[in-house]
């Protein structure tokens, strides 16, 4: 633009009451696809927190038409406005854009006792792919984590930058701290289906990093809002980024692998304990069985030897004879000897002895001719013992 025209514009700003001071700032030029939407942040000075802000359309401020205001109306057609006095930013959102919406617009702060303050920007709506765009204008990260922004552009004629609204910028090829957070820019030299890619990674996030940023390529900017939250107990450091070609599939596969690995780690300990328990049980059972078999093998056959003189197998037999005189005469050959023997088992008296048991008995014979001549002291006790053949 010619120097004399710039001077004329400055004079017009002064005469119409709009200051060119940087009390209000925004992006200078954005490119939007037809049918899409765009959110424009307008950063203002702290002293304007309680002022009314408005969005105006037109090349010149004194000839622009007000579209929406933070007091009324906040919504008009496809355009709406909201004011965040804590972040000192009022944002304007335009949806369902068409080529007819391509124009110059103004972010303006209304001042009652002095001239209004504002800044101008340009919005270009194109039927094809925008010259610079992002998949998402709103991204979220956690304290200590990182966030990645992918900015797509159609031409490599100029280098890219990443800037914080109202702050400083980091250019491609440089990695440094931006507001206490490490920023790294990588510009892909190969063209993808979405165009070339400028990848911005912010790591070591802090709560103070919440705010508006923009990708810059040539004279175009694309605003991006990043929200940093405190991590929860179940939330670890994460990286959030829009998807590149095949990026969704890669992230999905990585997440699936992590879940499988977590399940395997969770099941490994109980399964290992179960295997050890089964092995110990089998070894113990085998040792007990081996010991039992050895004991049975070493034991001698079960033989029962019964003492001939066992008291339980003693049979008492009572016998008597009659003597005619002190000196007993020998009996003739035809003398008859009577002996009654009853065998009993003291332990089991009702069980008869086996047939092959031999009974030995000492017997005193009686005289057949004098059977009744026995004296009372002529009782003889004989001991009978059974012997097993």
Quick one: what percent of the chain has pLDDT higher than 90? 42
- Top pLDDT among 183 and 346 is at 183
Residue environment code for 147-158, b if the CB has 16+ CB neighbours within 10 A, otherwise e: bbbbbbbbeeee
Residue 225 has pLDDT above 50, yes or no: yes
Contacts of 56 (CB under 8 A, 6+ apart): 64, 65, 66, 67, 105, 106, 108, 118
- Top pLDDT among 134 and 264 is at 134
Write the burial class of residue 258 (CB in 10 Å: 0-12 exposed, 13-18 middle, 19+ buried): exposed
Do 222 and 138 touch, CB atoms closer than 8 A? Answer: no
What average pLDDT score do residues 7-12 get?
45
Do 82 and 91 touch, CB atoms closer than 8 A? Answer: yes
Contacts of 43 (CB under 8 A, 6+ apart): 24, 25, 26, 88, 89, 165, 166, 212
Residue found by looking up tokens 């998402």 in the block: 136
What average pLDDT score do residues 148-157 get?
87
Do 231 and 209 touch, CB atoms closer than 8 A? Answer: no
Closest CA to 107 of 220, 19, 26: 26
Sheet holding 379-387, edge to edge: 314-320, 379-387, 358-360
Q: Is 22 helix (H, G, I), strand (E, B) or coil?
A: coil
Query: In the prediction, which pLDDT does 189 show?
Result: 72
Query: In the prediction, which pLDDT does 298 show?
Result: 65
SS3 annotation, 256-296: HHHHHHHHHHHHHHHHHHHHHHHHHHHHHHHHHHHHHHHHH
Query: In the prediction, which pLDDT does 272 show?
Result: 78
What average pLDDT score do residues 372-382 get?
47
Residue 343: pLDDT band (50, 70, 90) is: low
Residue 37: pLDDT band (50, 70, 90) is: very high
Query: In the prediction, which pLDDT does 355 show?
Result: 53
Which residues on neighbouring strands pair with residue 176, listed in sequence order?
Answer: 183
Query: In the prediction, which pLDDT does 286 show?
Result: 82
Contacts of 83 (CB under 8 A, 6+ apart): 53, 70, 89, 90
Query: In the prediction, which pLDDT does 262 show?
Result: 54
Residue found by looking up tokens 């009372």 in the block: 376
- Top pLDDT among 152 and 317 is at 152
Strands (E), 290-365: 314-320, 358-360
Q: What is the pLDDT of residues 19-36, one digit of tens each?
A: 445 699 999 999 999 999
Q: How far apart are CA 49 and CA 90, in angstroms?
A: 10
What average pLDDT score do residues 297-326 get?
47
Identify the weakest region by mean pLDDT among 91-105, 139-153, 191-205, 226-240: 226-240
Query: In the prediction, which pLDDT does 265 show?
Result: 59
What average pLDDT score do residues 55-67 get?
94
Tell me the CA distances in angstroms from 236 to 34, 112, 146, 147, 242, one per residue in order.
Answer: 38, 49, 11, 13, 19
Query: In the prediction, which pLDDT does 259 show?
Result: 47
Phi, psi of 238, rounded to the nearest 5 degrees? -130, 160
Residue 126 has pLDDT above 90, yes or no: yes
Query: In the prediction, which pLDDT does 319 show?
Result: 46
Write the burial class of residue 248 (CB in 10 Å: 0-12 exposed, 13-18 middle, 19+ buried): exposed
């Amino acid at each position: 633009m010619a120097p004399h025209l710039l001077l004329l514009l400055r004079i017009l700003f002064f005469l119409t009451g709009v200051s060119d001071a940087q009390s209000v700032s925004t992006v200078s030029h954005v490119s939007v696809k037809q049918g899409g939407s765009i959110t424009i942040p307008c950063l203002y000075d702290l002293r304007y927190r309680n002022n009314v802000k408005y969005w105006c359309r037109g090349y010149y401020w004194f000839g622009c038409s007000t579209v929406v205001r933070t007091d009324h109306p906040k919504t008009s057609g496809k355009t709406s406005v909201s004011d965040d006095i804590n972040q000192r930013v009022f944002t304007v959102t335009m949806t369902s854009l068409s080529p007819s919406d391509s124009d110059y617009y103004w972010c303006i702060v209304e001042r009652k006792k002095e001239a209004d303050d504002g800044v101008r920007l340009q919005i270009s709506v194109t039927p094809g792919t925008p010259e610079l765009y992002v998949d998402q204008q709103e991204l979220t990260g956690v304290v200590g984590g990182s966030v990645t922004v992918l900015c797509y552009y159609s031409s490599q004629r100029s280098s890219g930058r990443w800037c914080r609204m109202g702050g400083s910028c980091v250019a491609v090829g440089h990695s440094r701290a931006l507001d206490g957070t490490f920023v790294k820019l990588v510009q892909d030299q190969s063209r993808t289906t979405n165009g070339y890619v400028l990848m911005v990674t912010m790591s070591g996030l802090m709560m103070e990093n919440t705010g508006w940023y923009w990708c810059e390529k040539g004279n175009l900017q694309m605003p991006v809002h990043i929200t940093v939250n405190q991590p929860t107990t179940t939330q670890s450091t994460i990286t959030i980024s829009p998807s590149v070609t095949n990026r969704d599939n890669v992230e999905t596969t990585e997440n699936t692998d992590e879940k499988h690995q977590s399940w395997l780690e969770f099941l490994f300990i109980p399964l290992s304990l179960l295997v050890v328990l089964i092995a110990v049980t089998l070894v113990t059972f085998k040792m007990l069985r081996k010991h039992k078999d050895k004991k049975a093998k070493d034991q001698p056959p079960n033989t029962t030897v019964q003492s001939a003189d066992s008291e339980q197998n003693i049979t008492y037999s009572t016998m008597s004879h009659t003597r005619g005189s002190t000196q007993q005469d020998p009996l003739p050959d035809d003398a008859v000897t009577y002996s009654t023997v009853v065998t009993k088992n003291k332990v089991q008296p009702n069980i008869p002895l086996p047939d092959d048991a031999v009974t030995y008995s000492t017997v005193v014979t009686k005289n057949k001719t004098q059977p009744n001549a026995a004296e009372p002291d002529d009782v003889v006790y004989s001991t009978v013992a059974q012997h097993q053949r």
